[in-house]
């Protein structure tokens, strides 16, 4: 009996030591995992790059998203000299122009005057005469519309009759052309500026359902084949805008320009350039460096892979000066980003 008890104690002691060793090992691994941290450091570098003045077609557009709705709804009346037999449709049904809506006892039908969706109806019992209180309420599914919100600063550029391009999220690889049919005369005020609502109507090709989501774009202004430069090439000196032109001898000159409309990439040049110049613009490169650091006593770290992404900016501060400046051109360094409005 004593031998069995001793063996049992030995087994318990050994199991305890094994359990403690496992706990210590797991704790050590967790601590190592927490100590090794991944860090991402970002920095940016700037440099001047040369580019050619080009011709572009620049559009200033207004884009909005919204819900597609019916352009009209009405209640279709039933012939009061006829007796109702049966409904051919249910609420919520989509019905094409010419299809039957209900049947009269004389074998004739009330048909859909256009593509529509049945919203609701009120009909007598089968075999009873139709009255003026009976109806089928429908929504027009052939001509659709959506709303466009226009800021007060752009309302003067929007007119009834202007075209709009509609993209329906559920219909791939196709766009629709609509027309602005109405612009509200009363706006909605907010501290950031008043907005006005415009209605855009367009025709359904059978692929669109009322209630779908879509986006629409209206071209407010357009400059075709105009002299243009990248937005980041435009610099300012007070209220004066200029670009840095590279002359034939390699020197540079600040040339005053007058700008027109712009998009996300280019700005129209109304005067100051003839379209054949080479100019300088600022290129900003953002560098993301991933590194791994350890809190262990050995110190040090391990640098991971570096990934770069490029973009363009519009501030020449801190860049080395280069070339001459024309006497009649704006003085001073190359400061100031191009203003957003252009």
Rg value, the chain, Cα: 36
Q: What is the pLDDT of residue 133?
A: 97
Q: What is the pLDDT of residue 303?
A: 43
**Cα–Cα distance list, 82 to 10, 100, 123 (Å):** 103, 16, 12
Which residues contact residue 278 at a Cβ distance below 8 angstroms, ignoring those fewer than 6 apart?
50, 51, 52, 53, 245, 246
Which residues contact residue 223 at a Cβ distance below 8 angstroms, ignoring those fewer than 6 apart?
56, 57, 58, 59, 260, 261, 268
SS3 208: coil
Q: How many CB atoms lie within 10 A of CB 181?
A: 15
- Mean pLDDT per 10-residue segment, the chain (342 residues): 55 67 68 57 76 94 94 96 97 97 98 97 97 98 95 94 96 96 95 95 96 96 95 93 93 95 94 94 71 48 40 40 40 42 50
Q: What's the rounded Cα separation, in Å, for the pair 221 and 63?
A: 13
Burial of 144 (0-12, 13-18, 19+ CB in 10 A): buried
Find the distance separating the first CA and the last CA of the chain, reported in whole Å: 99
Q: What is the pLDDT of residue 102?
A: 97
Please give the DSSP secondary-structure letter assigned to residue 231. G
- Is residue 148 within 8 Å of 157, Cβ to Cβ? no
Q: What is the pLDDT of residue 75?
A: 97
Burial of 170 (0-12, 13-18, 19+ CB in 10 A): exposed
Distance of CA 249 to the CA centre of its chain: 44
Q: What's the rounded Cα separation, in Å, for the pair 234 and 333?
A: 14
Distance of CA 156 to the CA centre of its chain: 24
Q: What is the pLDDT of residue 340?
A: 44
The model's pTM:
0.64
């Amino acid at each position: 009996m004593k031998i069995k008890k001793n063996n049992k104690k030995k087994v318990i002691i050994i199991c305890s030591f094994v359990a403690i060793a496992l706990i210590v090992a797991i704790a050590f691994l967790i601590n190592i995992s927490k100590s090794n941290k991944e860090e991402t450091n970002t920095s940016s570098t700037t440099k001047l790059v040369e580019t050619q003045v080009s011709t572009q077609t620049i559009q200033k557009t207004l884009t909005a998203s919204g819900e597609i709705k019916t352009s009209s709804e009405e209640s279709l009346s039933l012939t009061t000299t006829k007796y109702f037999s049966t409904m051919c449709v249910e609420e919520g049904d989509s019905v094409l122009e010419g299809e039957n809506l209900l049947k009269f006892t004389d074998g004739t039908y009330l048909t859909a005057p256009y593509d529509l969706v049945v919203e609701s109806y009120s009909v007598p019992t089968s075999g009873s005469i139709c009255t003026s209180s009976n109806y089928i309420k429908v929504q027009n599914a052939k001509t659709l519309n959506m709303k466009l919100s226009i800021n007060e600063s752009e309302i003067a550029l929007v007119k009834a009759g202007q075209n709009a391009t509609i993209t329906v999220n559920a219909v791939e690889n196709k766009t629709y052309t609509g027309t602005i049919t109405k612009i509200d005369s009363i706006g909605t005020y907010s501290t950031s500026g008043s907005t006005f609502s415009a209605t855009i109507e367009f025709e359904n090709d059978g692929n669109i359902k009322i209630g779908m989501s879509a986006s629409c774009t209206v071209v407010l202004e357009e400059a075709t084949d105009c002299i243009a430069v990248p937005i980041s090439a435009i610099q300012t000196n007070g209220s004066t805008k200029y670009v840095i032109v590279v002359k034939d001898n390699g020197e540079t000159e600040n040339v005053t320009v007058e700008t027109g409309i712009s998009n996300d990439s280019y700005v129209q040049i109304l005067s100051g350039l003839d379209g054949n110049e080479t100019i300088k613009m600022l290129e900003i490169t953002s560098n993301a460096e991933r590194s791994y650091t350890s809190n262990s006593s050995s110190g040090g770290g391990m640098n991971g892979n570096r990934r770069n992404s490029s973009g363009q900016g519009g501030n020449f501060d801190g860049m080395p000066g280069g070339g001459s400046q024309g006497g009649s051109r704006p003085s001073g360094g190359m400061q100031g980003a191009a203003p957003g409005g252009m």
